[in-house]
Amino acid sequence: MKRNHSIRSVLNFGFALGVFLMALGFGSRAEAQQVYVVNVEGLVDSGLHAYIERSIRAAENDNADGIILHMDTFGGLVDAADKIRNSLLEAEITTVTYIDKNAASAGALISIATDSIYMAPGSSIGAATVVAGDGQKADEKMQSYFRSIMRSTAETKNRDPRIAEAMVDERIEIENVSAEGELLTLSTSEAVELGFVNGSATSIDEVIEKMGWGDRTLVQMDERWQESLLRFLSNPALTGLFMMMMLGGLYFELQSPGVGFPGAVAMVGAMLFFGPHFVLGLASIWELMFILAGVALIMVEIFVLPGFGVAGIAGALLLVFGLFSSLVGNVGFSFPQLDQMSGPIWTMATTLIIGILLIISFARYLPQNRAFSKLILATSTDQQSGYSSFKEREDMTGKEGIALTALRPSGTVLIDDRRYDVVTEGDFIEKGAKVKVVSSSTSVITVRKMDETGVPWAKKV
């Protein structure tokens, strides 16, 4: 009995110890919560959205207390900023922005979409007027659209929507801060005084202390090299360059058919253009199909139906439409908003104009360059320039020769100690028979069999 009692006591002690250790483990895990820090720098683009979206999902999966956006940006693309805004509004963790110098334009929208905002001394937020691709202020329709986004986002996060609108519309006056006609940009002290941000902070550590996260583990989320490369390649300036590589390479390749240097340039341009767009979800397979169909129709127009007709026009339209759709990005089955199309319109227009001018310049001056002339066919290969797909022959009618092979009806004969490919008028002529040329042209020599007297069979009386 005593033995059983002892065993039971040991088991109870082991169970109690296990429960204690498990509770200690869970308590340690609960205390070891994390705070994620994400750098928001440079141009606001779709690559930045992918980086922030990945960081939010990672923080949520780790049950982190929150995520801090360490921001210094002058803005960027409206559609990308709107995607980031939606991701922040839908996030299931606390979101904070720490403005370290600048949160202009699209950066202001992203900041307003977070739960809390802190600003470093000497920083600023605002100046969110939408500009078109030419750098000029966009039309009222686009301004109205962005005003509504700024206003609704501020209302969602319990911030003054009028201040958010004044960052877009200079007609809105903020008393003692900005007069009518002045676009609103707030300094750190002004933003704190107006209650538009939660406070000022000199560092990320101070932000963490003010949020009550002093005992949390800090996790720095860095961009992967793939994301950095995609952001670099999806830059609008480089996108235009890649399109010029495609169009220019295609033009010069069609001038000298075959897979050569211009064709390789066109393929590299296409890969650099479509690769980032596909990875970032900005392009679909149907857009690539439009472009390929356009190129195919242009080649049909050049090689099959010479001239410039329906096939050429349709091919050019499909090519331009496919490239333009890739720049706009995926908008589902809805028609894209004007603000989504303004950037691509300017990119396409600028690219086409510069591309046409470069093609004209290259076509005129590059063939004179000795190094470039080795890469492409720079001279004409037409008959007027002395080129021909066959050798010129003198009129050989009446000449006699010997069949070196059986003519069935084509074969080879020897005339004046030279070999010629000939055809008969349809008759079979055996090897070694005497033949006479009855007609000749630059491409065809026709012969007839002769008898022992030297008279062609058809002429024998």
pLDDT at position 332, please?
Answer: 43
For the ranges 76-80, 82-86, 322-326, the lowest mean pLDDT is seen at: 322-326
pLDDT of residue 302: 61
CB 43 within 8 A of CB 31: no
Q: Which domains does the chain have, with CATH numbers?
A: 28-224 (3.90.226.10), 234-373 (no CATH), 400-459 (2.40.50.140)
pLDDT band at 37 (very low <50, low <70, confident <90, very high): very high
Region of residue 449 (phi > 0: left; psi between -120 and 50: alpha; otherwise: beta)? beta
Looking at residue 342, its pLDDT comes to 55
Looking at residue 149, its amino acid is I
Which is more confident, 382 or 442?
442
CA distance 68 to 86: 16
Q: What is the pLDDT of residue 153?
A: 94
Residue of 280, 268, 287 lying closest to 234 (CA atoms): 280
pLDDT, position 151: 93
Report the relative pairing of strands 217-221 and 124-126 from DSSP bridges: unpaired
pLDDT tens for each residue of 148-163: 999 999 999 999 999 9
Instruction: Please give the sequence-ordered ranges of beta strands (E in DSSP) within 120-202, or none if there are none.
Output: 124-126, 185-187, 199-200
**Is the whole-model pTM more than 0.75?**
no
pLDDT band, very low/low/confident/very high, at 352 (cuts 50, 70, 90): low
- pLDDT-derived band at 94 (thresholds 50, 70, 90) equals very high
Dist. CA 302–CA 269, nearest whole Å:
22
Q: Is the pLDDT of residue 110 over 90?
A: yes
pLDDT > 80? residue 381: no
pLDDT in tens, 252-292: 666 555 556 676 777 777 777 766 665 555 556 666 677 77
The predicted-structure confidence for 167-193, as pLDDT tens digits, reads as follows: 988 888 888 888 888 888 999 999 999
Decide if pLDDT at 39 tops 70.
Answer: yes
pLDDT of the residue at 186: 92
Q: For residue range 398-423, list pLDDT tens digits in order.
A: 888 999 988 878 888 998 888 888 88
What torsion, rounded to 10 degrees, do the Cα atoms 213, 202, 156, 175 define?
A: 150
